[in-house]
Amino acid sequence: MAKKHNTDRLVEAASGPTWVIILKIMLLAVVTAVSVYAIFMLVLANDYVLASIVAVATLAINYIYLRKGALPAKYLTPGIIFLLIFQVFVVGYSAFIGFTNYSTGHNGTKEMAIDSLLEGQLERIPDSPEFALSVVEKDGVINFLVTQDCPAPVEGVESEPCEPQVFIGNATTPLQPVTNANWLGDKASSLPGYETIKFDQILERQDEILAITVPFTDDPTEGALQTTDGRSAYLYMAKLVYDPVADTMTNTETGVVYTPSATGSFVSESGEELQPGWRTIVGLDNFIKAINEDSIREPFIGVLIWTFVFAFLSMAFTFILGLFLAIMFNDPRMKLRKFYRIIVILPYAFPAFLSALVWAGMFRNDTGDYNGFINQMFFGGASIPWLSDPLLAKVSLLLVNLWLGFPYMFLVTTGALQAIPEELNEAARVDGATPWQIFRRIKFPLLMVSVAPLLISTFAFNFNNFNLIYMLTGGGPADPRAGMNVGSTDILISMVYKIAFDSSVRDYGLASAFTILIFLIVVGISVVSFRRTKMLEDLN
């Protein structure tokens, strides 16, 4: 024990000249300074949880590098920081999203949803006063310069003396009174520091100007100004009123009361839902939805089966062809072997995402006037729907993946075959074995020992081969019966991507629920296969 301690100290003492120590401390100082800045900003943004996580991490880093010993930690920490943030944390966070209703229409907090409901559904107050409007601009932001007239004099009643008032405001700043406006007739027409937008420009920028809502005051329930013609503005009020005590929304017109539901939105008694809702934890809803709803479960099972079939067949076909070519080119009597080898591995050297797109171009026959290269070159101009027929699309995928993958298998099996000692071959021949017996009984089992782990990793790679599917078929042809955007060549990973990003309703919650399932499947496969490969090694 004491001896070990001594060597440790020796190592520490010898751990570097002064400049190394100075460099180390400078690096640590930079890291700490950056972290302190981040903590400061996070505290300003009221994000105390994240701030404390960063603080703890910073302390841990300093502790690891300033203390003596614990060498492994010093070498592992840099990689593990990135691993923790961009692999472990994001996986955990994805899993968490799987238990929420995060999706289009449910992507903010409840406060954000309430604000947008109050602002979103405005309507003009009947008989509300009219404001004379000049549209002005400052730093690219459009402002409303409005003039509030005196109430019209009523006959018989002596009106109080009154001056028209002028206000300015924009989409984010409520109206504020101003006094230094320039007048044109009885309407404030311009304000120093602002550029008045002329009428012809108003017509040009109509969409932009009509979309502006200027809050009347800080309180959203007091309504907001909108314009329909760029010359006058009217007061609009929210159709909905929020009662913070009862936590309900009431429609002022119909009197219907909406109460918050467990699924993150305001719902009326008759089941009518207000959009947008908010993000909330919905427990196992996404999983139940995936299992119970026929329109989701059936395509999901189809995709699951196809994922396994695709990954397995891709692996099997590339391996068989690669092995065949390796044996064929392994004959020393053959001339030009090097030439063949270089050509045959070219598909592997060419960037894969480009290959998939190139094949998509060769296969397509989507437009009437242009038939794809494959059809013209090999099928006499016949119009074969390579990518738009459900079955043919699968065949095409496997063919392209064979093209992409066989060179790798060829390289790997060639290496493994050449590693098998020639003596085994000779000994077997002396014993009277036929070439087939030699291959089947001796070479092949030896080959499998070194190639099996690579077969498994090929399977796992194809299980998640997003690029090929997305670039070649886009998962299509689409399945019209499915309740979501999924096609007959989609594998799990492309299906998840499409649920989250390529659908009219981006359902991140459901996508993440599927993500968890994929994760479990992949981990299961890897654990089982690691065990099996170890078994193969032990057999040897």
Interface of this chain with other proteins, residues 38 to 67, rule: CB under 8 A: 38, 41-42, 45, 50
Q: Which of 26, 56, 59, 523 binds other proteins (CB under 8 A)?
A: 523
Nearer to other proteins by Cβ, of 125 and 328: the residue is: 328
Q: Enumerate the H helices of 345-421 as residue ranges.
A: 346-349, 352-363, 373-378, 390-419
- Minimal distance, residue 315 CB to other proteins, in Å: 15
Q: Is 508 strand, coil or helix?
A: helix
Regarding 33 and contact with other proteins (CB under 8 A), the answer is: no
Distance CA 438, CA 70 (A): 52
How many whole angstroms separate alpha carbon 322 and alpha carbon 413? 7
Number of residues that bind other proteins (CB under 8 A): 103
Position 287 contacts other proteins (CB under 8 A) = no
Quick note: the x/- pattern for other proteins over 87-116, rule CB under 8 A, is xxxxx-xx--x----x--------------
Nearer to other proteins among residue 453 and residue 477 (C-beta):
453
Measured CA to CA, the distance from residue 253 to residue 256 in angstroms comes to: 8
Residues 375-394 that bind other proteins (CB under 8 A): 376-377, 381
Mark 231-250 with x for binding to other proteins (rule: CB under 8 A) and - for no binding. --------------------
Site pattern 422..461 for other proteins (x: CB under 8 A): ----------------------------xxxxx--x--x-
Q: How far is the CB of 470 from other proteins (least distance, A)?
A: 7
Q: Please provide the distance, in angstroms rounded to a whole number, between the alpha carbons at the two ends of the chain.
A: 39
The footprint of other proteins on residues 395-424 (CB under 8 A) is 403, 407, 411-412, 415-416, 419
Contact between 451 and 390 under an 8 Å Cβ cutoff? The reply is no
Q: Closer to other proteins at the Cβ: 100 or 143?
A: 100
Among 420, 466, 478, 502, binds other proteins (CB under 8 A): 466
On whether the CB atoms of residues 468 and 352 are closer than 8 A, the answer is yes
Residue 283 C-beta: closest distance to other proteins, Å = 19
Residue 183 or 444 with smaller CB distance to other proteins: 444
The secondary element (H helix, E strand) that includes residue 295 is helix 294-328
Q: Estimate to the nearest angstrom the gap between the alpha carbon of 499 and the chain centroid.
A: 10
Near other proteins by CB under 8 A, which window of 70-78, 147-155, 212-220, 284-292? Answer: 70-78
Is 67 buried (19+), middle (13-18) or exposed (0-12) by CB count in 10 A? exposed
At closest approach, how far in Å is the CB of 276 from other proteins?
18
Residues 476, 498: contact at Cβ < 8 Å? no
* Rounded distance between C-alpha atoms, residue 150 and residue 153, angstroms: 8
Q: What is the largest CA-CA distance in the chain?
A: 130
Give SS3 for 294: helix
Per-residue string for binding with other proteins, 213-232, x by CB under 8 A? Answer: --------------------
For 48, other C-beta atoms within 10 Å of its C-beta total 11
Subset of residues 304 to 363 that bind other proteins, contact rule: CB under 8 A: 325, 328-329, 331, 333-336, 340, 342-355, 357-362
Q: What angle do CA 451, 412, 437 make, to 5 degrees?
A: 60
User: 160-179: which residues touch other proteins (CB under 8 A)?
Assistant: none
Best CA proximity match to 57, nearest among 93, 29, 32, 86: 32
User: Of the ranges 186-194, 302-310, 422-430, 464-472, which one interacts with other proteins (CB under 8 A)?
Assistant: 464-472
